[in-house]
């Protein structure tokens, strides 16, 4: 039996476990990336482990999220990351150089290698046949120290792309179609592998749009083969030497196959407040809109920006619409300036923002009250834009521009003269904003500069002998990490300050939660299906830990968040019978006898609800390694106990 692409990469990097779907495996990690909103924590944890120099082939720290600098906090964090990376052998991508995933694809990604990043959209690298996986900062810190990264061996979905995209239909519409088919938890436990006759027309930037937004399926990763188009892209980036061909074997076996016919695909939109709430743009045609934002790691490549510029050329943005455009990288931005496309963008009345995440993570450009905002981004979770009652729709750049000009939702296929745009055969290469780390000999002399906003990381504790506590929050299905630990201008600057962050924890769902948790001295949380979907931010585990949360019970968990909970010693348990969800109410007193011992010896626990003495069976299905981590009170303690520091 042959291998799929992902199985080939895993086979080459396997350090522990069997390649049996669902089994825990350890992977050797070739490259890591961090961004600044998760980076400070990752590097603080790396420092705590005491490793002097990174052991990966390449590690890069990007500054792209926290770039507003409305106070000293972000600037201090940037300075910390700049100095800590210089000391420990990590490259530093300065603010202004672009969004981590876009820059990594352009300058560093290598087909067939492994990459983990403290950002859930790390699978973007799958656009060039690299296995990119999003992880918590602590896992990235461990990998930088040479440790393995653990996942459950994924199953593989084959996405067969037939036909050819029509005019004004984009790669974004392909991934929106996949989201319509699979839903936001349809990818959990899977990697998606793309293939089929349409591949010969899909360039690397288009592929990267698709692999990027595979994160919204809950998938472990998404990959395309590495083929002649990959070679052409790497050649255009002056990196043809990094090219290796990589395809699945002809007799590879997939766990699931889906097929999309690009000939019949039409422009799609993800409606509020979930990336899988899909309608055709035609159904929404004519709806008045207030704002359009183009950019983010999903749609900010040179190809996207040239398309946008060509559609805006000679036009004016509708007077009732505010249009923002953030190019994905300095490379893209400078090339737009060089070829004059930037002129067309500026002249249309678009508001050009720096090449960073910006509005995607609520850093500016929040919509007006009740506003309708069309975004080429990947997430439209409630309140993520910074305006809780805004209606955010996720669309392709083509739909975004057509609508920005018309002032109403507009299906771009109704327009004439589709722009003829191609990926450049040569990119402008200037890595002057990538700082190289100091030589090993000089490293000792480098002082790591820390600002007052960097507070100690809360420490996990050994689990209680018996868990005797209260249910301090009950939430529904598909709770995102944006619900648990919101971001945006008011909160993001405190990513290094957990006590301050705790004031915002879960406030999107329940404004009283932080005070209640503090007054009651912590407790447990009950969630529905897919608890913790979305970002990789470990703050969504660290802050509840700080507030005394000892366990989370849910119907099911999202992969990265579950790993983060374990990393910080919070037990992620699932309900054996989903109906029991209704038996628990806010503030119920709950009890698990022999909690600590059962974590060690069993994967079944029973929670007693003291209100009515009902007994609720729970599962804690973890590997032996994960159980040890929980029993140690988290990964940092576990690593120390095992002498790996």
Phi-psi region of 619 (alpha: psi -120 to 50; beta: other; left: phi over 0): beta
Q: Smallest distance, Å, CB 65 to ligand SF4?
A: 6
Distance CA 459, CA 48 (A): 12
Q: Smallest distance, Å, CB 532 to ligand SF4?
A: 16
Q: Smallest distance, Å, CB 312 to ligand SF4?
A: 21
Torsion, Cα 626 632 635 641, to 10 degrees, reads: -120
* DSSP string for residues in 581-602: GGG--TT-EEEETTHHHHHHH-
From ligand MIC, ligand SF4, none, interface partner of 99 (C-beta below 5 to 8 A by class): ligand SF4
Of 105 and 336, nearer to ligand MIC (C-beta) is 105
Q: Smallest distance, Å, CB 552 to ligand SF4?
A: 23
The reply to whether 330 sits near ligand SF4 by the rule CB under 6 A is no
- Burial class of residue 287 in the structure, from the number of CB atoms within 10 Å of its CB (0-12 exposed, 13-18 middle, 19+ buried): middle
From ligand MIC, ligand SF4, none, interface partner of 330 (C-beta below 5 to 8 A by class): none
- According to DSSP, the β-strands at 571-575 and 589-592 are unpaired
Figure out which of the listed residues 148, 234, 361, 390 binds ligand SF4, where binding follows CB under 6 A: 361
From ligand SF4, ligand MIC, none, interface partner of 85 (C-beta below 5 to 8 A by class): none
Residues 216-245 that bind ligand SF4 (CB under 6 A): none
The reply to whether 378 sits near ligand SF4 by the rule CB under 6 A is yes
From ligand MIC, ligand SF4, none, interface partner of 296 (C-beta below 5 to 8 A by class): ligand SF4
The reply to whether 297 sits near ligand SF4 by the rule CB under 6 A is yes
**What are residue 31's DSSP bridge partners?**
58, 115
Q: Smallest distance, Å, CB 520 to ligand SF4?
A: 33
Instruction: Check whether the bond before 131 is cis (ω within 30° of 0).
Output: no
- C-alpha angle with apex 265: 418 to 358, nearest 5 degrees? 70
Residues 126 and 5: beta-carbon distance below 8 Å = no
The reply to whether 301 sits near ligand SF4 by the rule CB under 6 A is no
Q: Smallest distance, Å, CB 270 to ligand MIC?
A: 15
From ligand MIC, ligand SF4, none, interface partner of 122 (C-beta below 5 to 8 A by class): none
CA-based torsion, 224, 226, 230, 234: positive or negative: positive
Figure out which of the listed residues 192, 360, 472, 552 binds ligand SF4, where binding follows CB under 6 A: 360
DSSP E strands in 88-184: the ranges are: 91-93, 114-117, 131-134, 149-152, 155-162
Report residue 179: phi and psi, to 5°. Answer: -65, -35
Torsion, Cα 551 116 362 43, to 10 degrees, reads: 80
Q: Binding segment for ligand SF4 among 333-341, 356-364, 417-425, 628-636 (CB under 6 A)?
A: 356-364
The reply to whether 296 sits near ligand SF4 by the rule CB under 6 A is yes
CA-based torsion, 130, 134, 140, 146: positive or negative: negative
Q: Binding segment for ligand SF4 among 25-33, 357-365, 459-467, 551-559 (CB under 6 A)?
A: 357-365
Residues 144 and 51: beta-carbon distance below 8 Å = yes
Figure out which of the listed residues 119, 139, 180, 588 binds ligand SF4, where binding follows CB under 6 A: 119
The reply to whether 357 sits near ligand SF4 by the rule CB under 6 A is yes
List residues binding ligand MIC (CB under 6 A): 37-38, 65, 119-121, 134, 361, 487, 534-537
Residues that bind ligand SF4 (CB under 6 A): 65, 99, 119, 121, 296-297, 357, 360-361, 377-378
């Amino acid at each position: 039996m042959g291998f799929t692409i992902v199985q080939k990469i895993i086979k080459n990097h396997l350090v522990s476990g069997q390649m049996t779907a669902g089994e825990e495996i350890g992977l050797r990690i070739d490259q890591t990336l961090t961004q600044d909103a998760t980076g400070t924590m990752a590097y603080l944890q790396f420092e705590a482990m005491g490793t002097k120099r990174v052991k990966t082939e390449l590690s890069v720290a990007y500054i792209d999220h926290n770039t507003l600098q409305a106070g000293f906090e972000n600037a201090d964090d940037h300075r910390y990351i700049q100095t800590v990376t210089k000391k420990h052998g990590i490259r530093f991508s300065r603010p202004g150089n672009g969004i981590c995933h876009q820059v990594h694809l352009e300058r560093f990604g290598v087909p067939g290698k492994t990459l983990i990043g403290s950002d859930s959209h790390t699978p973007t690298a799958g656009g060039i046949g690299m296995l990119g996986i999003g992880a918590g900062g602590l896992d990235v810190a461990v990998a930088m120290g040479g440790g393995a990264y653990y996942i459950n061996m994924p199953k593989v979905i084959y996405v067969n792309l037939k036909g050819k995209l029509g005019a004004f239909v984009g790669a974004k519409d392909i991934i929106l179609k996949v989201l319509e088919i699979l839903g936001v938890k349809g990818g959990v436990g899977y990697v998606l592998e793309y293939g089929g006759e349409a591949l010969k027309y899909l360039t690397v930037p288009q592929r990267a749009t698709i692999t990027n937004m595979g994160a919204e399926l809950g998938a472990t990763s998404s990959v395309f083969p590495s083929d002649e188009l990959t070679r052409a892209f790497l050649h255009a980036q002056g990196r043809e030497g990094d090219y290796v061909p990589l395809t699945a074997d002809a007799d590879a076996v997939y766990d699931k196959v889906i097929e999309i016919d690009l000939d019949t695909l039409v422009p799609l939109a993800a409606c509020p407040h979930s990336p899988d709430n899909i309608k055709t743009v035609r159904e929404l045609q004519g709806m008045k809109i207030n704002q359009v934002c183009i950019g983010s790691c999903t749609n900010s490549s040179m190809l996207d920006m040239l398309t946008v510029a060509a559609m805006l050329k000679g036009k004016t943005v509708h007077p009732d619409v505010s249009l923002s455009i953030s190019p994905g990288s300095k490379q893209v931005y400078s090339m737009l300036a060089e070829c004059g496309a930037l002129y067309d963008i500026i002249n249309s009345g678009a508001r050009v923002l720096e090449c960073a995440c910006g509005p995607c993570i609520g850093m500016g450009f929040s919509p007006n009250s009740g506003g309708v905002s069309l975004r080429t981004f990947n997430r439209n979770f409630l309140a993520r834009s910074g305006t809780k009652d805004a209606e955010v729709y996720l669309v392709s750049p083509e739909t975004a521009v057509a609508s920005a000009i018309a002032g109403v939702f507009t299906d771009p296929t109704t327009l004439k003269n589709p722009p003829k745009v191609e990926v450049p055969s040569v990119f402008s290469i200037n890595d002057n904003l990538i700082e190289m780390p100091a030589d090993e000999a000089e490293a000792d002399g480098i002082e790591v500069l820390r600002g007052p906003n960097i507070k100690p990381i809360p420490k996990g504790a050994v689990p209680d002998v018996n868990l005797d506590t209260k249910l301090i929050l009950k939430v529904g299905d598909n709770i995102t990490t944006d619900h648990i630990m919101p971001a945006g201008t008011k909160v993001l600057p405190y990513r290094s300050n957990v006590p301050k962050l705790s004031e915002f924890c879960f406030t999107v769902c329940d404004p009283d939660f932080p005070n209640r948790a503090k007054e009651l001295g912590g407790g447990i949380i009950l969630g529905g299906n897919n608890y913790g979907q979305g970002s990789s931010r470990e703050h969504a585990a660290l802050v509840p830990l700080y507030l005394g949360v000892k366990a989370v019970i849910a119907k099911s968990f999202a992969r990265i968040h579950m790993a983060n909970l374990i990393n910080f010693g919070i037990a992620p348990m699932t309900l054996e019978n989903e109906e029991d969800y209704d038996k628990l109410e806010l503030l119920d007193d709950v009890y698990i006898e022999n909690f600590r011992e059962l974590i060690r010896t069993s994967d079944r626990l029973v929670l007693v609800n003291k209100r009515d003495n009902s007994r609720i069976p729970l599962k804690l299905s973890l590997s032996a390694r994960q159980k040890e981590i929980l029993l140690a009170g988290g990964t940092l303690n576990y690593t120390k106990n095992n002498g790996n520091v």
